[in-house]
Structure 1
């Protein structure tokens, strides 16, 4: 009742809690009881006065939507592979089904509402409407995350992965097949500094000065990562960092520390002696 008085309806997200009480889950249970015919009339009337929607299809959608929110919080995208799960739900297959023609339901009002709910989580939840595949969207998100973590494009070579996708190989393929990309794909990649292969070669021609500049950027990114790790260890007293952890430096810089460590561990054979020494001094045995 408190939720209804505040919000004016009982459109409660499945994962919502009210003063630590799992209200969304409780309402889902009430809908199941109503469908099974085990709810008494008095309780049903009370809930109907507050505007409960008994439609079990909507209830199931809300539960899956909660899983989609959880997946997005972890992955930064709803371009989930089919096998992806979240909150013990097959969110990848669920999203795949929704993207199919008519997947949002035959009722146009309901379909529009569901699309809006998904877009509120991730505006690009259905990449096919934009002219590219779910896999492309997921890898683009992965490249964005790697660059946000302080890596440069030079760092993202074939073999560099993000959540199981080889982002280095994918990026190389984009530069090679640039002519096959649509205008919006090119624009997004250009914002990340990705260029067609011919343009990259032309940029590398003058070379030495540019190479030094790129090396300098890579060195700066490494130093920021070390600074973030040192700060994390001082605060937490451990070197174990979750892959999605972001560390805020005093100057306001955000460092994706978990990604930084994962990438450097996978490429430790390419680290310089100074870089190895810096990481070893902080207690990273693998360096």
Structure 2
């Protein structure tokens, strides 16, 4: 309401477009919601808005009201002359006014009353003549608006929804770009636009050109480019865009590279560019950068959703890519666009088996890399409890595994012949608890707590399930004191008397 009051004080009405924002608040959407509430809108709210603008919620469309208000702002408003074809109005507004005269009898009585205030009565409506289109005049007016927009912004890459002094400059330029591509644009108009902005109709997307101009202006105002520092002087979206240009630099048009060179991105500087890991909406290029780095360190892209790499949420990003790839493949026959790029990093980045299998395989591979021989015939001695049990299960199921899984097991030294000789791993109850406790310590060292959801796994170990079992035993008084003390040492609130969701939320806010 405070923002609506400020808008009404400045503009004299509240019939604003749906997408209008004020100080970061979606005022247009808010007013639309108030209108949509209808009779359920509390009377005090309706009164407060009506005091600001009696026609904030007209029985006709708000678009009608906005165009009417444009007519009210005409010089000499109240003296439009329908019988002369509405001279002094723009072509669009004059046409609209003529349509109101034609439909005068079907208008709401209050609409007729409002039109009377600008000189359209029942009598003058009968004598109205259509607005004559003056093409040369309309063109010159549009070019004047373009010139004014260019002086203010330094370019003519307005978005399709942009207006300038009430003129739909974005839509007008968009229409001219279409005509230019078809070779139907008036050369005289093209010359004038080219003189203002040579890239007003670029062969690449207007969004690219508009963003390039935005970055140019920011650098001109003092922003430091610093590709090697992840473009941190720029907002997240612009930083992502700049890094994407560095990745795509060899494939850009010569003229694009020339424009980037003027802001400091050259063939030499793009080589040192890094993406910002703190981004909220990672671009594909940013995600691929950290995916390559992660795979270079771990040998694959077997991540859990909570995994981070160099402060980048690699687990969350890859989980999103897998969901989008699976959804894409269910709807289209063409491959998911990012699939070839991620497959080049890890052929099994989105395997047909579940992610837990991948994580368990990585845990076993780490043991092999550390020098341990996996001996199926002896029950996998030297392996942790959970990994040993998992390996034995794979041996039992070996004939039914996917060929890709069999191949990955062969990388660990477990062939079909080895699998047939496998014996189960014998584990004592204490050894089983110690394994879980080791995973709990590792998890807490990384996250600072043991508020682990039941579904959470840690390095292939079902830590969430293990802790849920220990909480249940502790609640029922069946968990030995020494084991409870060991867990309390790691996290005093591993089994809070309030619900685990509260504890999870607390740690999220703390983080």
Which has the bigger relative contact order, CA under 8 A and spacing at least 6?
A: 1
Superposition TM-score, scaled by structure 1 size: 0.43
